[in-house]
Every structure is written in structure tokens, then in C-alpha cells.
A and B are shown apart, each in its own frame.
Chain A
Amino acid sequence: MKTIFIRMLARLTRAQGLHVQALLFFALAITAVVFAVGSEPVLLASLMPGIAWAVLLLSALLGLGDVLEPDWADGTLDDMLLSARPLPALMAAKMLAHWLATGLPASIAATLCVGIMVPNTASTLPALFAGYALGSLCFSAIGIMAAALVLGSRRAATLLAVIVMPLCVPPLIFGAGQAASTQMGASPEAALFLLAAFSCASVTLAPFAAAAITRMKVTTP
């Protein structure tokens, strides 16, 4: 199990540089948005936490194609199905590896971004980071189910986006709500708890769903 997790993480980071890719994508997307809406500091300060959420969701799509598809293509997945380890645990390992490779770096980048561009936010940054981290964990959980669904399909990248985006609406809303209430000076707890509840549910259920879907994919004649 540990091996799978480490192997997965190594493949996503060392071989493919996904963490660098995620950070780079994050920086580029934020810069593009700033160019598009203008560099007005007051406007940016009010928009930035929300923009960071949207970009976080987009950066979660990065690398989802590499989580299961290579294992499916070279037959490793068949081995995993036959192994004594429970498949949901393997899926959970892959989900965590994906989160560590994309979600976590992007969350750190998002927090830094808000910290730099929005004045007087230092005290709210820990709660903000918790929100970004929990949210990106949800995105990875939903992502692993979507990655299992599109295994062996044509147009996998487009399909991933279309499947992941609507399912990610609740964490996005809770997260943006948390960011908004922090900005208004209200307590971020309510939104943060909802976000935590959603991530608990998705992180525990998604590996089972992904495992069932993968098993169906491999065994369907």
C-alpha cells in the first residue's frame, strides 16, 4: 500500500513534475485573470479569494488523466485488481497522491497569493488555507471517480472537465462562502464546517465508488 502511494507520488511529481506544473498553471491563470479584469487593487482585493478558488478547481483537473490511465494502459490495474490489497485502499492512495501533487501546492500558492494581494489578511490566512486544502481534497476525491469513469474513453480530457465541474459545485460554493465571510469580517467557521463535512463524505466514499467503477471497467467483457 505504502509502495503504491510512494510510486504514485513519485510518478506524478518526479517523472511528470506535476507539482511544478500545478504551481506554474496557478501563477499563469491568476496573471491572466488579473490582465483580464484590470489591476485595480481594491477590485482585486475583493475578487482574489474567489478567483483563487476557481483556479484551484481548474488546477485539480491537471494530472487527473495521469492518475489511472497509464496503469490501465499497461495492465498494472489488472494486477491491482488481483492483488490481496483492497482496491478502495489503492484508490485512496492514488487520490491522496494526486492531492499532494496538485491540490496541496496550489492551495499554498492560493493562500500566498491572497496574502500578498489583499492587505491586512495575515490573521485570516490559516483559516483560508484550511479552506483551500479541504476544498482541493474534495476536488481530488471527485476527480478520482471521474478518472475511473473515463478510463478507456475517447476525449478523456474534455469528459473529465464536464464530469468534475458540476459535482464540484458544493465545495466551491462553501469555500467561496468562507472566503467571503472572512472578508466581511464574519466568522469563517460555518462555511469551513460545511466544507469539512463535504470533504469527509467525499474522501471516504469516493475511493469505494472509484474502485467499483474500475472493477466494472476491467471485468466488463
Chain B
Amino acid sequence: MKLNLSYFANPAHFEKLAKFLMPVLVVASTLLLAYGLCDALLLSPPDYQQGEAVRIMYLHVPSAWLSMAIYMACGIAAITLIVWKHTLAELFLRAALPAGAAATALCLLTGMLWGKPMWGTWWVWDARLTSMLILMFIYIGTIALTDAFDRPEQGGTAAAWLTIIGLINLPVIKYSVTWWSTLHQPSSFGSNNGMMKPAISGDMLRPLLVMGLGLTCYAAIIIITRLRAEIIARRLAVSGAK
């Protein structure tokens, strides 16, 4: 089995793939999100402790997944850019980083909205919240780096390096933050979290997974659309320079 990934590094080939993928993704995300939202907001049972407020989880947890998955994807693209110097990888970084930052922001915001009724406060310096905030800072720094140079290629490569450094550092940050928050405050909050319970009920897991898949498709649509726009913008810039 030989899958030639560099085939898709050619923007024309990618364009073909995108043309095929887009309608599929649009239909899939519409269906999944429509069903997922109904299931999450109406059909699934309220939590025995948290009541109806638990429904925020169906947006909160998938956005947390996405924020990390997109960072992973950016990391792979960054390595591809540094090692094989595919321009498409650089454009992917530009397209995907803001999407990842948006997912992180969504996760933080829904987390705050969830925290207010459950914990009685918008913000707690809990390990998860804090490491999410750091991830947000890393996203912002990397995005700022992509746009800080006169030559866009330099910004893209610098951002790729920072993404790789961040990829190595994120587990250490995650670990240290966990260590820090257990040092400073016992986990009196975390155990209220729906996901911390040993077994989540199947009626809640189903909408959660459907929402996760639907939002993943949605994020893919956003990223592919942004990537096509980046390709066009780069072509225009190159032809304008000539």
C-alpha cells in the first residue's frame, strides 16, 4: 500500500480533492449537527446533579477535542513544511491556526458559562482551564507570528517552528499545570465535572459523539474554505509581484 501524500501537496490536486470533499462534508455536518443538537438539547436526559446545565457539555467537550486535534494537525503540517517545504503546508497553517484558536475560545467561553451555575464562579484556576488558557496564548502567539513579516513565507516558517516547539512543550505544560493546581488547591471542583464520572451514560455519550463528529466536519469545512482562499490569495500575490 503506497499512499502518495505529496500528490495532494500540489494545489491543483488539492483543489480537486476539495471540490469532491466539500459537498460531502457540508451534508455530513448538517445532518450530524441537526441530529446531535436535537439529541443533546431535547432527547438526552438531564444530569442527576447538574440538571439541564449539563447540556453545555455537548458544545464544550467537542470544542476542547477540536482545539487539541487542530493543534495536532498544525503540528503535522509544521513538520511537513520544515522537512519537505511544501507550500501547501504553510497555507494550511495559516488556514487552520485561527480555526483552532476559535475552537479554544469556544471551549473557554462555554466552560465559563458552565462554571457560573455549577461552581458559582466564571473562572477557577483549575488545571484544565489553565492549560486551555495557555493553549489559547500559544495559538495567539503563533497566529501573530504568521502575520508579522513582510515576506509571508518567513512568517509561515517561523510559525511552523513555534508550532513544533509548542508541540513538544504542551505535554510538559499540561503536566506542570496539573501538578501546580493539585499543589495549590485540592480538586474540589473537578469531580463535579460530568466527564470526570467513571462511566458516562450511553444516552449522554451518543449525542456527545455525534456533536463531536459534526463539529469536526464543520471545522474541516472552515479549514478547507480558508485554505482555498489562502491559495488564491497567494497566487494573486505572486502574480502581482511578477
Q: SS class of chain B's interface: helix, strand, loop or mixed?
A: helix
Inter-chain contacts of B153 with A (CB < 8 A): 220
Asked if B141 contacts A159 (CB within 8 A), the reply is: yes
Q: Does A145 contact B (CB under 8 A)?
A: yes
> A162 near B169 (CB under 8 angstroms)?
no
Q: How far is the CA of A194 from the CA of B144 in the complex (A)?
A: 31
Assess the B158–A162 pair: CB atoms within 8 A.
no
Task: From A152, A156, A166, A173, give the contact of B141 (CB < 8 A).
Answer: A166
Q: In chain A, residues 134-170, which have Cβ atoms closer than 8 Å to a Cβ of chain B?
A: 145, 149-150, 152-156, 158-159, 162-163, 165-167, 169-170
| Bound CA–CA A216/B155 (angstroms) | 11
Q: Bound complex: CA of A166 vs CA of B134, how far in Å? A: 6
> Known contacts A145-B165, A150-B145, A209-B165; is A173 also within 8 Å of B157 by CB?
no
Q: How far, in angstroms, from A149 to B155 measured CA to CA in the complex?
A: 9
Is there an interface contact between A170 and B173, defined as CB atoms closer than 8 Å? yes
Q: Are A153 and B148 in contact (CB under 8 A)?
A: yes
Interchain CB contact under 8 A, B158 and A169: no
- B residues in contact with A180, CB < 8 Å: 183-184
A162 touches B141 (CB 8 A): yes
With A154-B149, A209-B165, A217-B154 as contacts: A169 and B144 at CB distance below 8 Å = no
CA distance A163 to B159 in the complex (A): 10
0 or 1 for each of B51-67: is its CB under 8 Å from A? (1 = yes): 00000000000000000
A177 to B179, Cβ gap below 8 A?
A: yes
Q: Which residues of A contact B157 (CB under 8 A)?
A: 216, 220
Q: Are B179 and A173 in contact (CB under 8 A)?
A: yes
CB–CB B165/A150 < 8 A: no
Residue in contact with A162 in the complex, picked from B144, B150, B173, CB distance below 8 Å: B144
Q: Give B112-153 as 1s and 0s: 1 = Cβ < 8 Å from A's Cβ atoms.
A: 000000000000000000000010011011001100111101
Q: Decide: A162 and B140 in contact? CB cutoff 8 A.
A: yes
Against A, the Cβ 8 Å flags (1 = close, 0 = not) of B169-183 are: 100110111011001
> Are A170 and B145 in touch, CB under 8 angstroms?
no
The verdict on B14 contacting chain A, using a C-beta distance below 8 Å, is: no
Q: Chain A residues near B161: list those with CB within 8 A.
A: 149, 209, 212-213, 216
Known A169-B173, A213-B161; judge A163-B179 contact (CB<8 A).
Answer: no
Q: Is A174 an interface residue (CB 8 A)?
A: yes
Q: Does B166 contact A (CB under 8 A)?
A: yes
Contact code string A195-216 (vs B, CB < 8 Å = 1, else 0): 0001000000000010011001
Partner of B158, one of A149, A158, A176, A198: A149
Give the chain B neighbours of A177 by CB distance below 8 A: 179-180, 183
Give the most central of B140, B148, B183, B184: most A CB within 10 Å.
B148
Complex Cα distance, B138 from A220, in Å, reads: 24
In the assembled complex, the Cα of A167 lies from the Cα of B173 at a distance in Å of: 8
A170 closest partner in B (C-beta): B176
List of A residues within 8 angstroms of B180 by Cβ? 173, 176-177
B91 shortest CB reach to chain A, Å: 16
B148 close to A167 (CB less than 8 A): no
In the assembled complex, how far is the CB of residue A187 from the closest CB belonging to chain B, in whole angstroms?
A: 14
**How far does the Cβ of A176 sit from chain B's closest Cβ, in whole Å?**
8
Q: Which residue of B lies closest to A169 (CB)?
A: B173
* A169 near B165: Cβ-Cβ < 8 Å: no
| Across-interface contacts of B138 in A (CB, < 8 A) | 166-167
Assembly CA distance A154 to B144 (angstroms): 10
Contacts of B169 in A (CB 8 A): 167, 170
- B162 in the interface (beta carbon within 8 A): yes
- Nearest residue in B to A209 (C-beta to C-beta)? B165
Residues of A contacting B141 in the complex (Cβ-Cβ under 8 angstroms): 159, 162-163, 166
B165 surroundings in chain A (CB, below 8 A): 145, 167, 209
B179–A169 contact, CB under 8 A?
no
A168–B148 Cα gap in the complex (Å)? 22
- CB of B152 to closest CB in A, whole Å: 11
Name the A residues within 8 Å of B179 (CB-CB): 173, 177
A sample of 9 inter-chain contacts (CB < 8 A) reads A149-B145, A159-B148, A162-B144, A163-B145, A177-B180, A198-B172, A209-B165, A216-B82, A217-B158
Chain A residues lying within 8 Å of B166, measured Cβ to Cβ, are: 166-167
**Alpha-carbon gap, A176 to B125, bound state (A):** 15
Q: How far is the CB of B82 from chain A (nearest CB, A)?
A: 8
Tell me whether A166 and B148 are in contact (CB under 8 A): no
